[in-house]
Amino acid sequence: MRSHPATRPAAPRALRPRTATGRLLPLILSSLFLFSSPSSAQLHQGQKLVEATLLTDTTAIVPGQPFRLGLLLRMAPGWHTYWENPGDSGLPTTFDPQLPDGFTTGPIIWPLPQRIIEPGDIQVYAYQGEVLLVRTITPPATLAAPEITISAKSTWLVCEAICIPGKAETSLTLPVAPTAKPSHTELFEKFTALAPSDEAPPFTISWTATPTGWNLGLRDLNGPATRADFYPYADETSPVAHTAPRELTNGAADLAIPVAASASVRGLVVLENGARRGWIIESTAATPAVAPAASAATSGLWTYLLFGFIGGFILNLMPCVLPVISLKIFGFMRQAGDSRANILKHGFAFTAGIFLWFLGLAAVIIALKSAGSEVTWAFQFQNPWFNYVIGAVVFVFALNLFGVFEIVLPGRATQGIAEAGGHGGLAGSFAQGILATLLATPCTAPFLGTALGFAFSQTSTVIAAMFAAIAAGMAFPYLLLSAQPGWMKYLPKPGAWMERLKQFMGFPLLATLLWLLYVIGQQRGTEAVIWAAASYLCLGLAAWLYGAFLGPVSSNRAKTLATLAILLSLLLGLGYFTGNLFARSAAALPEKSAARANNGIPWVPFSEVELRRLLAEGRPVFLDFTADWCITCKFNLRTAIDTKAVREAFEKLGIVPMLADWTNSNPEITRKLAQFDRVGVPFYLFYAPGKKDDPVILPELLTEQILLRAIGAQP
């Protein structure tokens, strides 16, 4: 679940600019505003950002008769202030009237907010233009003074490219009279109409518990509204992630509300059609998303853990893992003839590397899930910086296999490892275990998608247990082989040929590097690939200098010069080239076309609105969830999907091929996967005509025959 953060109020962004430049300017400006004398206008570089005015809906105070007091904030174009739940970041506006004794104050009446999506998929609930916050004031039954002065203290955070805090102390004086006339009627009526109603809405609402939160069903919407949205109230205990707005279809809509299991939800349901209306609603009594008997729940858990174990075992056969697994097989060959104890130590070291990565990944996912973020399998590969760093690690491994350099540990460390691990090097086995699992995460093997989909909706303990089961499945064949060294007699005997085999093993790693560069290119464009390649070139030069001049036979002068050259190469490669690597942001890239070239499948880009429109028309839809970093997805595409037989079947049967490209983080795709308890790709759905709520789920590993049978092109 993304990359989407919880909607609880975050730390103020007042001192954090949203652009790469001008980091000191917001800090200075914020300090000036925080410590300047209060006024009704907030200025920034000569521009009036916010003007605060205190208003009432009456011309006089009538003893015992309530009236409305409003704080009017007028904001400069492009700037906004925040609702009581600001969303991913920001601060709510405060409005505190200062009244004489005997007066009482009601709560703030907040108008309906607007959803603003900022760079980085930061979603906030805010106000633009102007907003009137209203509180009902009730004076005492008797007032001796001829007039009353009312003042109010208010604070806010106003944001555009930067965020600046503001505050004001405003006041007004009203006479005390037996009668009064209305005042500022048009303004108060405008924002009263935007206030949410706490009465029952004039349509049907249903709450259905799901593994990821709640499904809010809206039915019988007879009116001009065309769109529905949900804004949650802040809840620190059970923060609610973002809900995607939905277009109405035949007077109905379903809103997915991500929240911790069994947590109740309170917020605003808003209908839009130019004008906006909202109602305060709350979920029914909290019920678990899955509530079977205890024995059945335990049985189901063990079943999913078994799926995780089997999926981890199958990961060893995935093309993304094979380059590193081949290194481990080579290591077993080298160890043939060693003592059984030493071989078993290497097996445990490799297994420890696997478990360290999987449990570390589980810890990250648990932390993100606790913070309210949507987390998914292989979410790290949606970050191009992660792919760049992993590419550097793979490149260094390949250079080591080619003999460009050897890592020389200090004498005491070398002696300790030699005594503990014989000839193989426990650190190498441990590192290979980590790298193997690191490269395994882009792949979702059979059984693994189902197991992870279940685990991601469960408690932290279940998530940790699931990742441990996957690690055990992946490590099992190597641990078994190291525990039974007699089986290694079937492997070739060590000899001089092993040095050549070691060098050959570097080429699969370079192939992995090319794949990672391809992913970076898909995420950030061709220019980013050039910068990354230049950076890797400098990294390769540093590795060669290390191997050539920092060996035990080199002179001190040569070592000094080599060290300086290495530092210069790293500075050039990791400093200058890497600094320019992602200078061209994804927003500046031309939008990728979903259609395939060379007369391939004419993919339609996925959107929930377009999918619902096609299904409402009775059109069959094949939905492919994929990513450029998913090798299994690419294999399925080439061998089972983008084939002549399938293309002809799609055209003959009128099937619309829809592509959900998850290469970069896409919250809408993440939410769609979550509807089917999936957290990774590949994933395939086929919506047959007239079955828009009951799609066929296809297996992760596809064949042309399986796909053709699923869409009805073959018996």
Tell me how far apart the alpha carbons of residues 482 and 488 are, in angstroms, rounded to a whole number: 9
Phi/psi at 55 (5° precision): -130, 155
User: Would 628 be classed as within a structural domain?
Assistant: yes
Please identify, among 505, 530, 553, the residue that sits at the C-terminal boundary of a domain.
505
Q: Are residues 172 and 69 in the same domain?
A: yes
For 241-274, the pLDDT digits (tens) are 778 888 888 888 888 888 865 678 889 999 988 7
Please identify, among 222, 251, 282, the residue that sits at the C-terminal boundary of a domain.
282
User: Would 287 be classed as within a structural domain?
Assistant: no
Enter the tokens of residue 311.
């999926």
Q: Are residues 364 and 216 in the same domain?
A: no
User: Would 171 be classed as within a structural domain?
Assistant: yes
Q: What is the pLDDT of residue 93?
A: 95
Q: What is the pLDDT of residue 452?
A: 55
Closest CA to 586 of 431, 344, 382: 382
Q: What is the pLDDT of residue 71?
A: 95
Tell me how far apart the alpha carbons of residues 252 and 268 are, in angstroms, rounded to a whole number: 17
Cβ atoms of 267 and 232 closer than 8 Å: yes
Q: Are residues 75 and 215 in the same domain?
A: no
Q: Are residues 173 and 31 in the same domain?
A: yes
Tell me how far apart the alpha carbons of residues 4 and 240 are, in angstroms, rounded to a whole number: 10
DSSP code per residue over 41-58: EEEETTEEEEEEEEEESB
Q: What is the pLDDT of residue 631?
A: 75
Report how far apart, in Å, the C-alpha atoms of 375 and of each of 320, 428, 437, 438, 456 are. 22, 31, 18, 17, 8
Tell me how far apart the alpha carbons of residues 211 and 674 are, in angstroms, rounded to a whole number: 8
Report how far apart, in Å, the C-alpha atoms of 575 and of each of 443, 496, 535, 542, 580 are. 32, 40, 9, 14, 9
pTM equals 0.42
Alpha helices by DSSP H, listed for 18-81, are: 24-35
CATH of the domain at 214: 2.60.40
- Sequence-distant (≥ 6) Cβ neighbours of residue 142 within 8 angstroms: 63, 64
User: Would 587 be classed as within a structural domain?
Assistant: no
Please identify, among 170, 193, 216, the residue that sits at the C-terminal boundary of a domain.
193
Enter the tokens of residue 655.
């099937």
Tell me how far apart the alpha carbons of residues 499 and 505 are, in angstroms, rounded to a whole number: 10
CATH of the domain at 148: 2.60.40.1250
What parts of the chain have a pLDDT lower than 50? 1-39, 285-299, 408-424, 442-447, 449-450, 584-598
User: Would 115 be classed as within a structural domain?
Assistant: yes
Q: Are residues 208 and 181 in the same domain?
A: no
Q: Are residues 318 and 345 in the same domain?
A: yes
Q: Are residues 278 and 301 in the same domain?
A: no
Q: What is the pLDDT of residue 597?
A: 39
| 8-state DSSP, 700 | S
- Sequence-distant (≥ 6) Cβ neighbours of residue 162 within 8 angstroms: 17, 18, 19, 22, 25, 26, 29
CATH of the domain at 645: 3.40.30.10
For 551-585, the pLDDT digits (tens) are 555 566 666 776 777 677 777 766 666 656 555 44
Cβ atoms of 455 and 466 closer than 8 Å: yes
Q: What is the pLDDT of residue 373?
A: 53
User: Would 82 be classed as within a structural domain?
Assistant: yes
Phi/psi at 83 (5° precision): -75, 175
Q: What is the pLDDT of residue 16?
A: 33
What are the E-state strand segments in 493-602? Answer: none
Q: Are residues 363 and 489 in the same domain?
A: yes
User: Would 9 be classed as within a structural domain?
Assistant: no
List the domain range (segments joined by +) for residue 252: 204-282
Q: How many domains does the chain have?
A: 4
Q: Are residues 444 and 300 in the same domain?
A: yes
